[in-house]
């Protein structure tokens, strides 16, 4: 067998494709043989076999284990490896962890970590002990064992499995960390990485086992943190001179600090006065190396060593910049903690002064966030990289973003002390830059970093300056000096394009502090830079960003003289750009048009629409760009009616053509994207949709929905129809297709397809919303088809498998139950039966109510919640025996086996979770009480008044045997009143939708309605509510008590 496998492995490396393919087919057949995996393991460990073939054996062995070792594997295929063969394979692979060849060790580690995931501890109880013993072996053995352990601790371990890891593994790892003579920096860094993974696992079980976790941390932390402190106190520059990879150890330590800050903050905050200075010490020691390796372009410049890679091990992010990012990430929450207060500021609250430590932190951020050589090279070559890296809203991770986050954290905590120190440091950088301008090619970088930092916290600076003015204090940061003496000189510093561009952007970030005349001058300078042919690309991009910022910070009067020129320059640039630069141009066009809405009219709108549409058509597979264009078009629809109509008339026929495009591999996405863009033309509008839009776009959508199976097309197409029904249903009724069918009739026909049992649920998730709004807006037209439509919905609901689809289909019924048609709908639903998936017959009423009760908690959006609450409350007040006979899912039944037990997947399988069956009115009461808890109770009238009790507190009116008993609702549910303090208007916001806000349903004060309903029902014992109280939980009783006595 081994020889046969070896021959196949050799053939897979052959030059001839047919030979390779035949060998691969044979190997797949060998996998089906119980000895196949065993042969691969033996070949991997055979020193006489060529290393290329051993590597191939290792790759195939991993594939074999994934497919055939355990049925729990996502890739599992039969047959399973027999226990006898497994017992032979494990020791062979374990032996490979000590192989002298790194690639063999790595392959063995990957294979063994997968085996351990499935076999430990039940089928491979000695694995952990074997690995721990291996950690005291040779350097090769330690490396191999650490590779397994690093993967091993990423698995989800139960509390029973975790404790041996903490007890046995952690001490062995700590010994490796503290032995630099025997182990490489990468191996030592991996021990810290594993320790961090153990901490994360402890976090996952701390709520269930707080005492055990505390004991584990008490045993682990003193030794580990002592080792961390000792390592960090050593001079990193001296260590780096001996081994660049040693940076990785420090990176892992500070990442571990972050983990503790998130998971167990008390462990680390008690020693912040030690760790913050250590962080500063590391950054200060490495600053000269950072400057020469990363920043400098002078004679002292040098390249940092390339990190050595150990694939699958600790990620080789071993640069000083990576360490700076990690330290900044640690410091960002650390500096805000109370334990750091005395270290960073002094003085009484409100008059604090920054300490030398705070100054050191700020200075280090400014120095480490200078433009690096690689930044310069990349930004000059790639405009998109420059835009992305310099985007204030970008989530691009790097030294600048983490450094600015740290400054923002400090500014938020101590604005004035931080600002004063930043002012002082910026002044120093201005002076030093001026003095070194003739001798240092990097003279501009500290100044650029200072301006960039101030701009990054621009909102905080502006707020502080306003506060200074309100309190008649001198300005904490002298922005006027910068604008008078610094920024004007930099606008023309063409020899340093990044500083020149920074000056433009800085001016725009603080444009709100400028006089209109001065702001106009800076805007004109940016426009001139954009217009000039010889200006470098980074400056032009900065000019575009400047214009975009000006649109945010200045009035339209400042922009108006330039806006037409700006638009005429930006539009022609659209076809010349792509990626991030194109996004920036489009966002700036949108901002310019949004500030100066008079730019667009019936004559100018088509040109803008055409240029933007052309770009959209070119990049319809770019989700960022399509979203920006959709937002731009949507904003244009809110301008003048003339501009909106011109936009629609120009774009609608093009979109209709795109929707009707025959699909190929290249155009399959186009109809769905076109429908989304079409929806942007109506989303923000009220009545007055153009008939031309319905005749082109809507007609194309109705046509494609009859045949398309594309989920995007179906979902967005249904949303489009829903928009039209809500905003201008009259138009749909007036429009007719080529067969004479009205738009409403076409929708009815389409619903037949969408509600077919075979139709995809993901495609129909918005169909219920469409039907509900048809009820709202086209009630008269719905009459003839109502019975058949409701039957079709129930039939589909009975076979629905997903909660999202089920909730969608419930909403139309919830809406109807809340109207005057409650009884007639109940009559209809009670008149027929449907077959359920378990082949039982249920009435339509049973299907609807049981599904509604099961998924009611998953409703989202204030309108849907309101519709459900109003419908549910209406049914609760109805005295109808048919409702009381419907049994629905109640509360979970906790058995003795499940009590005080973590329900793992295996336990849930052996002891399934069960639910009680309760009458619908009881469930309705429970759900109403949840809604009360959500929206609050209304205290506009007292319980005594509502219940016609005496004018005192009314307590004696409640009988001693009242099922609610007594309690202190003020203490138990005081949080409910917070909603009242905010006002009921928050509940009526209806997701900011004008159409829904105008609906009569939205005018109802939901809190008052539910409060009145419960009080009146309890006073009259409507539908036996007193008896229902016995079925409530203690929390539900408390909510009811609070509502009744509030």
pLDDT value of residue 1024: 94
| DSSP-assigned states of every residue in 4-56 | HHHHHHHHHT-S-HHHHHHHHHHHHHHHTSTTHHHHHHHHHT-TTS-HHHHHH
Position 344 confidence tier, pLDDT thresholds 50, 70, 90: very high
pLDDT over 90 (residue 557): yes
**How is residue 312 written in tokens?**
């699958």
CB < 8 Å & 24+ apart, contacts of 584-590: 584/387, 584/541, 584/544, 584/545, 584/548, 585/544, 586/612, 586/615, 586/625, 586/628, 586/629, 586/632, 587/548, 587/628, 588/544, 588/545, 588/547, 588/548, 588/551, 589/632, 590/628, 590/631, 590/632, 590/635
pTM: 0.83
pLDDT value of residue 485: 94
CA–CA gap between residue 650 and residue 20 (Å, rounded)? 57
**How is residue 922 written in tokens?**
């009881």
Residue 373, classified by CB atoms within 10 Å of its CB into exposed (0-12), middle (13-18) or buried (19+), is middle
| Residue 176 host element (H or E) | helix 170-177
Sign of the torsion formed by the C-alpha atoms of 77, 82, 87 and 93: negative
| Residue 589 · residue 612 · CB < 8 Å | yes
CA–CA gap between residue 277 and residue 285 (Å, rounded)? 12
Q: Is the peptide bond before 79 cis (omega within 30 degrees of 0)?
A: yes
| Residue 919 host element (H or E) | strand 914-919
pLDDT value of residue 310: 55
pLDDT over 50 (residue 971): no
Give Cα 853 to chain centroid, integer Å: 30
**How is residue 609 written in tokens?**
């629409």
Residue 785, C-beta contacts closer than 8 angstroms, at least 6 positions apart: 748
| Residue 485 · residue 523 · CB < 8 Å | no
Position 635 confidence tier, pLDDT thresholds 50, 70, 90: very high
Residue 484, classified by CB atoms within 10 Å of its CB into exposed (0-12), middle (13-18) or buried (19+), is exposed
CA–CA gap between residue 601 and residue 639 (Å, rounded)? 9
**How is residue 348 written in tokens?**
């009484």
CA–CA gap between residue 186 and residue 315 (Å, rounded)? 9
CA–CA gap between residue 554 and residue 551 (Å, rounded)? 6
Position 895 confidence tier, pLDDT thresholds 50, 70, 90: low
pLDDT over 90 (residue 780): no
Share of the chain above pLDDT 70, in %: 91
What's the 3-state SS for 748-809? Answer: HHHHHHHCCCCCCCCCCCCHHHHHHHHHHHCHHHHHHHHHHHHHHHHHHHHHCCCHHHHHHH
Q: Both ends of the chain: CA-CA distance in Å?
A: 82
Q: Convert the pLDDT of each residue in 949-968 to its tens digit.
A: 334 443 433 444 556 655 44
| DSSP-assigned states of every residue in 516-569 | HHHHHHHHHHHHHHHH-TTS-HHHHHHHHHHHHHHHHHS-HHHHHHHHHHHHHH
Local structure of 304: helix, strand or coil: coil
pLDDT over 60 (residue 974): no
Give Cα 811 to chain centroid, integer Å: 28
| Mean predicted confidence (pLDDT) in 603-620 | 97
Q: Is the peptide bond before 677 cis (omega within 30 degrees of 0)?
A: no
Residue 361, C-beta contacts closer than 8 angstroms, at least 6 positions apart: 280, 331, 335, 344, 406, 410
**How is residue 909 written in tokens?**
């399988």
Task: Compute the mean pLDDT over every residue in the chain, rounded to the nearest whole number.
Answer: 89
Q: Convert the pLDDT of each residue in 509-519 to its tens digit.
A: 999 999 999 99
Q: Strands, DSSP E only, in 323-427?
A: 345-346, 353-354
The residue ranking higher by pLDDT, 31 or 847, is: 847
Q: Which of 862, 809, 808 is nearest to 993 (CA)?
A: 862
Count the Cβ atoms, other than its own, within 10 Å of residue 686. 12
| Mean predicted confidence (pLDDT) in 446-451 | 98
Instruction: Give start and end residues of each alpha helix (H) in 818-919.
Output: 822-830, 844-855, 862-877, 881-884, 905-910
pLDDT value of residue 308: 60
Local structure of 912: helix, strand or coil: coil
pLDDT over 60 (residue 981): no
CA–CA gap between residue 408 and residue 725 (Å, rounded)? 47
Position 943 confidence tier, pLDDT thresholds 50, 70, 90: very low
pLDDT value of residue 897: 55
How far is the CA of 1007 from the CAs of 267, 801, 940, 1004, 1025, in angstroms? 44, 33, 10, 9, 19
Q: Of 165-179, 768-782, 951-965, give the lowest mean pLDDT range.
A: 951-965
Count the Cβ atoms, other than its own, within 10 Å of residue 842. 17
pLDDT value of residue 987: 39
| Mean predicted confidence (pLDDT) in 47-56 | 91
| Mean predicted confidence (pLDDT) in 619-635 | 97
Count the Cβ atoms, other than its own, within 10 Å of residue 349. 8
Tokens 């561009």 — which residue? 501
pLDDT value of residue 396: 82
The residue ranking higher by pLDDT, 902 or 159, is: 159
CB < 8 Å & 24+ apart, contacts of 685-688: 685/637, 685/638, 685/644, 685/727, 686/727, 686/994, 686/995, 687/727, 687/728, 688/641, 688/728
**How is residue 884 written in tokens?**
């009381």
Residue 635, classified by CB atoms within 10 Å of its CB into exposed (0-12), middle (13-18) or buried (19+), is middle
**How is residue 313 written in tokens?**
């091990």
| Residue 668 · residue 710 · CB < 8 Å | yes
Q: Strands, DSSP E only, in 577-733?
A: none
Local structure of 379: helix, strand or coil: helix
Tokens 């983490």 — which residue? 402
pLDDT value of residue 18: 86
Provide the phi-psi class of 312: left if phi over 0, else alpha when psi is between -120 and 50, else beta. left
pLDDT over 60 (residue 843): yes
Q: Which of 901, 870, 703, 700 is nearest to 772 (CA)?
A: 870
pLDDT over 70 (residue 973): no
Local structure of 697: helix, strand or coil: helix
Q: Which of 319, 325, 280, 286 is nearest to 303 (CA)?
A: 319
Position 936 confidence tier, pLDDT thresholds 50, 70, 90: low
| Residue 336 host element (H or E) | none
Position 947 confidence tier, pLDDT thresholds 50, 70, 90: very low
pLDDT over 60 (residue 507): yes
| Mean predicted confidence (pLDDT) in 117-122 | 88
Q: Which of 259, 287, 261 is nearest to 272 (CA)?
A: 261
Position 395 confidence tier, pLDDT thresholds 50, 70, 90: confident
The residue ranking higher by pLDDT, 15 or 265, is: 265
pLDDT value of residue 982: 39
The residue ranking higher by pLDDT, 79 or 253, is: 253
| Mean predicted confidence (pLDDT) in 39-49 | 93
Share of the chain above pLDDT 90, in %: 75
Position 35 confidence tier, pLDDT thresholds 50, 70, 90: confident
Give Cα 566 to chain centroid, integer Å: 35
Q: Of 30-34, 143-147, 917-921, 1036-1040, give the lowest mean pLDDT range.
A: 30-34
Residue 691, C-beta contacts closer than 8 angstroms, at least 6 positions apart: 731, 734, 735
Task: Report CA Rg, the chain.
Answer: 35
Position 151 confidence tier, pLDDT thresholds 50, 70, 90: confident
CA–CA gap between residue 58 and residue 41 (Å, rounded)? 7
């Amino acid at each position: 067998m081994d020889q046969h496998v070896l021959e196949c492995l050799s053939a897979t490396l052959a030059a001839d494709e047919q030979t390779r393919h035949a060998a691969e087919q044979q190997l797949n057949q060998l996998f089906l043989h119980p000895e196949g995996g065993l042969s691969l393991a033996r070949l991997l460990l055979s020193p006489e076999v060529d290393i290329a073939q051993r590597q191939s054996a290792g790759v195939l062995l991993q594939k074999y284990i994934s497919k055939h070792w355990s049925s729990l594997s996502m890739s599992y295929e039969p047959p399973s490896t027999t226990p006898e063969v497994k017992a032979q394979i494990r020791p062979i692979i374990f032996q490979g962890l000590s192989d002298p060849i790194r690639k063999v060790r790595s392959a063995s580690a990957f294979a063994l970590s997968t085996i351990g995931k499935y076999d430990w501890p039940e089928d491979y109880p000695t694995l952990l002990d074997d690995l721990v013993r291996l950690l005291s072996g040779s350097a090769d053995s330690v490396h191999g064992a650490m590779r397994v352990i690093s993967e091993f601790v990423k698995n989800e371990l139960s509390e029973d499995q975790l404790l041996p890891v903490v007890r046995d593994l952690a001490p062995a790892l700590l010994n490796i960390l503290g032995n630099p003579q025997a182990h490489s920096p990468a191996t030592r860094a991996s021990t810290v990485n594993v320790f961090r993974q153990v901490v994360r696992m402890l976090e996952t079980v701390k709520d269930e086992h707080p005492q055990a976790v505390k004991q584990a941390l008490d045993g682990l932390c003193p030794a580990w943190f002592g080792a961390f402190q000792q390592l960090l106190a050593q001079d990193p520059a001296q260590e780096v001179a001996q081994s660049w990879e040693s940076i990785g150890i420090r990176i892992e330590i500070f990442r571990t600090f972050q983990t503790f800050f998130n998971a167990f903050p008390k462990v680390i905050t008690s020693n912040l006065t030690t760790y913050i200075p250590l962080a500063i010490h590391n950054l200060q020691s490495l600053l000269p190396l950072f400057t020469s390796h990363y920043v400098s372009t002078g004679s002292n410049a040098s390249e940092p060593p390339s990190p050595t890679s150990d694939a699958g091990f600790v990620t080789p992010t071993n640069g000083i910049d990576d360490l700076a990012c990690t330290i900044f990430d640690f410091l960002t929450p650390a500096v805000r903690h109370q334990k750091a207060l005395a270290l960073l500021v002094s003085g009484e609250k409100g008059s604090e002064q920054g300490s030398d430590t705070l100054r050191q932190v700020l200075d280090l951020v400014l120095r480490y966030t200078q433009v690096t050589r690689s930044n310069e090279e990349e930004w000059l070559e790639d405009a998109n990289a420059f835009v992305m890296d310099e985007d204030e809203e970008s989530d691009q991770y790097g030294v600048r973003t983490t450094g600015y986050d740290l400054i923002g954290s400090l500014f938020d905590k101590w604005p004035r002390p931080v600002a004063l120190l930043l002012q002082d440091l910026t002044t120093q950088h201005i002076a030093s830059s001026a003095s070194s301008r003739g001798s240092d090619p990097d003279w501009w970088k500290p100044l650029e970093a200072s301006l960039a930092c101030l701009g990054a916290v621009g909102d905080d600076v502006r707020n502080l300056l306003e506060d200074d003015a309100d309190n008649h204090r001198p300005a904490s940061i002298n922005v006027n000096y910068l604008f008078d003496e610094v920024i004007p000189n930099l606008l023309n510093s063409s020899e340093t394009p990044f500083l020149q561009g920074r000056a433009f952007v800085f001016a725009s970030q603080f444009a709100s502090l400028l006089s209109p005349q001065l702001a106009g001058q800076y805007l004109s300078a940016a426009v001139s830079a954009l217009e000039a042919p010889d200006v470098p690309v980074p400056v032009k991009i900065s000019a575009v960003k400047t214009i975009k910022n000006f649109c945010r910070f200045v009035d339209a009067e400042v922009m108006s003289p330039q806006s037409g020129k700006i638009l005429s320059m930006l539009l022609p640039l659209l076809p010349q750009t792509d990626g991030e630069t194109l996004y920036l141009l489009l966002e700036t066009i949108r901002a310019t048009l949004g500030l100066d809405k008079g730019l667009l009219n019936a004559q100018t709108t088509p040109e803008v629409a055409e240029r933007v549409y052309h770009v959209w058509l070119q990049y319809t597979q770019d989700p960022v760009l399509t979203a920006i264009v959709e937002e731009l078009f949507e904003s244009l629809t809110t301008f003048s009616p003339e501009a909106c109509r011109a936009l629609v008339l120009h774009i609608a026929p093009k979109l209709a053509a795109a929707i009707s495009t025959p699909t190929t591999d290249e155009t399959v996405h186009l109809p769905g994207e076109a429908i989304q863009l079409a929806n942007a033309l109506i989303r923000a509008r009220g009545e007055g949709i153009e008939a031309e839009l319905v005749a082109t776009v809507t007609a194309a959508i109705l046509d494609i929905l009859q045949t398309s199976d594309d989920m995007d097309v179906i979902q967005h197409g249904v949303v489009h129809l829903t928009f039209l029904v809500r905003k201008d249903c009259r138009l749909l009724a007036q429009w007719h297709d080529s067969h004479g069918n009205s738009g409403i009739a076409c929708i009815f026909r389409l619903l037949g397809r969408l509600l077919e049992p075979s139709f995809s649920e993901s495609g129909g998730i918005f169909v219920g919303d469409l039907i509900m709004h048809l009820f709202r807006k086209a009630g008269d037209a719905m009459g003839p088809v109502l019975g058949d439509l409701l039957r079709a919905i129930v039939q589909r609901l009975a076979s629905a498998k997903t909660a999202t689809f089920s909730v969608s289909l419930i909403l139309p019924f919830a809406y109807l139950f809340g109207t005057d048609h409650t009884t007639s709908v109940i009559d209809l639903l009670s008149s027929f039966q449907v077959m359920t998936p378990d082949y039982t017959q249920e009435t339509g009423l049973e299907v609807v109510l049981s599904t509604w009760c099961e998924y009611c908690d998953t409703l989202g959006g204030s309108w849907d919640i309101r519709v459900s609450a109003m419908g549910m409350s209406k049914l609760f007040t109805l005295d109808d025996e048919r409702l009381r006979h419907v049994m629905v899912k109640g509360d979970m039944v906790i058995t003795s086996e499940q009590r005080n037990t973590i329900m793992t997947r295996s336990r849930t399988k052996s002891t399934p979770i069960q639910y009680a069956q309760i009458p619908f009115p009881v469930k309705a009461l429970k759900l109403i009480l949840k809604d009360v808890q959500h929206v609050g109770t209304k205290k506009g009238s007292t319980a005594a008044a509502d219940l016609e009790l005496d004018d005192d507190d009314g307590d004696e009116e409640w009988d001693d045997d009242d099922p609610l008993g007594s309690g202190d609702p003020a203490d138990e549910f005081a949080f409910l009143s917070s909603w009242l303090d905010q006002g009921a208007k928050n509940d009526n916001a209806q997701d900011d939708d004008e159409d829904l806000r105008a609906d009569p349903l939205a005018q109802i004060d939901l809190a008052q309605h539910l409060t009145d309903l419960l009080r009146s029902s309890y006073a009259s014992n409507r539908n036996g509510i007193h008896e229902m109280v016995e079925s409530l939980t203690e929390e539900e009783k408390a909510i009811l008590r609070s509502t009744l006595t509030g």
